[in-house]
Amino acid sequence: MTKNNLSLVSGANGHLGNNLVRFLLKQGIPVRATVRNAKNKTPFKGLNCELVEADITDKASFVKALQGVETFYAVGASFKLWAKDPKKEIYDVNMDGTRNTIEAAAEAGVKRIVYVSSIAALDYTKLPTKESNGYNPDRRDMYYNSKNDGEKLAFELAAKLGIELVSVMPSAMIGSEASLPLNVSYGIVKLILKKEIPVDTKITLNWVDVKDVAEGCYLAAQKGRPGERYILANEKCMSITDTTILANSLYPELKLKIPKSVPKGILFTIAGLMEFTARMSGKAPVLTRKDISMFSGLQQNFDISKARNELGFNPKSPVQALKEAFDYMMKHPDLLK
């Protein structure tokens, strides 16, 4: 890939999308950024990129947006773990979006796609988890299902349509440039600082700096083998409780309460009440019973040697990523509202 050739980033106002646009521009690569609503220019202030309105559920908008593009970074997706109608609002959007954008890329003559999948599309039954383990057999979550089925569909379509496609699988992205609404992972950092996690859920996250993931996407476009998948994460996960302990040591003045351990039955009761409130308000609950049953005690540890060796991916440690994320959040109090 030459530096002068146009790249398109979908979902460019999202956390990863926006940081990827910034990274590519620093490499001297011309960028076309797509968003669903081009009126929201705030995330692009001071950025010398072309802003285009396109929606992953509207194939024609992407056929138009992808004209003259050599590399397509397919970042745009519905990234949420809760919705009133999860099949319609999460699964269908992501599956249709995958089909629409890859078919549009083929029609527009795009040479290469970096498809942003997720660690959700990995099999966690053998640790450390690696790409060759295959796909996640747990079918309880519509977002997870959309990432598993979406990645399979992406590879099938790319093979059929003759496009080079590389998949990248980020873990819990935090840090750097961000705007409201925060993504799910960064939202947890916010909940910790706002003292809104009172109990120990035994849930772990594999923290990774979003800037490292942005660079990993670029490296995948440069060096990734078509038809292959690469984990963009750290080796070791951290519990939300250990993350809170770290935040407390960095900001003792906040007097953060370390989440207390409670029996699982009480956790399920709390989550059930939160779900009931969410159905009434339409606002996503902090915790669901599905979160507990799927993620409590799950160790999100990864073998990232493939991305290290083949792409040159070298992420900063989870502790360093968290320190920078906490610092960014504390310097931008508007994000804590």
Question: What's the per-residue H, E or C state across 162-183?
Answer: CCEEEEEEECEEECCCCCCCCC
Our count of domains for the chain comes to 1
Q: Is residue 161 part of a domain?
A: yes
Percentage of residues in the chain having pLDDT higher than 90: 75
Instruction: Over range 294-314, report the average pLDDT.
Output: 95
Taken in order 41, 189, 78, 110, the sign of the CA dihedral is: positive
Give tens-digit pLDDT for 173-186: 999 888 888 888 99
Distance of alpha carbon 244 from alpha carbon 249, whole angstroms: 9
DSSP states of 187-239: HHHHHHHTT---EE--BEE-EEEHHHHHHHHHHHHHHPPTT-EEEES-S--EE
Longest pairwise C-alpha distance within the chain: 58
Q: To which residue do tokens 């080079």 refer?
A: 164
Residue 4: its pLDDT value, please? 56
Query: Within a domain: residue 294?
Result: no
Task: State mean pLDDT over 255-276.
Answer: 89
Q: Is residue 127 part of a domain?
A: yes
pLDDT at 87 over 60: yes
How confident is the model over 291-312, as a mean pLDDT?
93
- In which element (H, E) is residue 291 found? helix 289-295
Q: How confident is the model at residue 2 (pLDDT cuts 50, 70, 90)?
A: very low
User: pLDDT tens digits, residue range 147-172?
Assistant: 999 999 999 999 999 999 999 999 99
- Give the whole-angstrom CA distance, residue 19 versus residue 324: 15
- Which residue has tokens 């747990």? 138
CA angle 298, 304, 310 (to 5 degrees): 155
Q: What is the mean pLDDT of the chain?
A: 93
Residue 246 belongs to a domain = no
Mean pLDDT calculated for residue range 301-328: 97
Q: State how far the Cα of 184 lies from the Cα of 46, in Å rounded to an integer.
A: 26
Is the pLDDT assigned to residue 18 strictly greater than 70?
yes
Does position 114 have pLDDT exceeding 60, yes or no? yes
CA atoms within a 13 Å half-sphere pointing along the CA-CB vector of 301: 8
Mean pLDDT for the stretch of residues 95-106 = 97
Decide: residue 128, CB within 10 A, 0-12 exposed, 13-18 middle, 19+ buried.
Answer: middle
Whether the pTM exceeds 0.85: the reply is: yes
Question: Which of 100, 36, 29, 108 minimizes the C-alpha distance to 66?
Answer: 108
Its domain, for residue 92, covers 7-175+209-234+300-315
Give the 3-state secondary structure of 83-152. Answer: CCCHHHHHHHHHHHHHHHHHHHHHHHCCCEEEEECCHHHCCCCCCCECHHHCCCCCCCCHHHHHHHHHHH
In a domain, 112, yes or no: yes
Residue 52 lies in a domain: yes
Confidence of residue 312 (pLDDT cuts 50, 70, 90): very high
- At 109, the pLDDT band (50, 70, 90 cuts) reads very high
Q: Per-residue pLDDT tens for 205-249?
A: 999 999 999 999 999 999 999 999 999 999 999 999 999 999 999
**What are 48-81's pLDDT values in tens digits?**
999 999 999 999 999 999 999 999 999 999 888 7
Task: Classify 267 as helix, strand or coil.
Answer: helix
Is the residue at 279 inside a domain? no
Q: Any residues with CB less than 8 A from the CB of 333 and at least 6 apart, and which?
A: none
Does position 84 have pLDDT exceeding 50, yes or no? Answer: yes
| 1 pLDDT more than 60 | no
CATH code of 81's domain: 3.40.50.720
* Residue 164 tokens, joined: 């080079």
State CA 277 to chain mean position distance.
26
Residue at token pair 């772990």: 204
Which residue bears the tokens 């773990």? Answer: 81
Cβ(179)–Cβ(13) below 8 Å: yes
Amino acid type, 253: E
Which of 27-31, 262-266, 297-301 has the largest mean confidence? 27-31
185 domain-assigned: no
